[in-house]
Homo-oligomer: A and B are copies of this chain.
Amino acid sequence: MADDAAFGGPAAHCHRLRVRYAETDQMGVAHHAAYVVWLEEARIAWLAARGQSYRELEAGGLLLPVVELSIAYRRPARFDDALTLLTVASQPGPTRLAFATRIERDGVLLAEARVTVAAVDRHGRPQRLPAALAALLSQPPSPAECR
Contacts and interface: CB of A to CB of B under 8 A. Distances in A.
Contacts of A32: 36, 65-66, 69
Interface in A58-117: 58, 63, 65-73, 76, 79-80
Tally of this chain's copies:
4
Contacts of A55: 79-80
A142 interface: no
Given A32-B65, A37-B22, A44 B80 contact: yes
Contacts of A29: 26, 65
Nearest to A34: B33
Contact of A68 (B26, B31, B53, B71): B71
Interface of A: 20-22, 24-29, 31-33, 36-37, 40-41, 44, 53-55, 58, 63, 65-73, 76, 79-80, 124
Nearest 3 A/B pairs, CB to CB: A70-B70, A33-B36, A24-B26
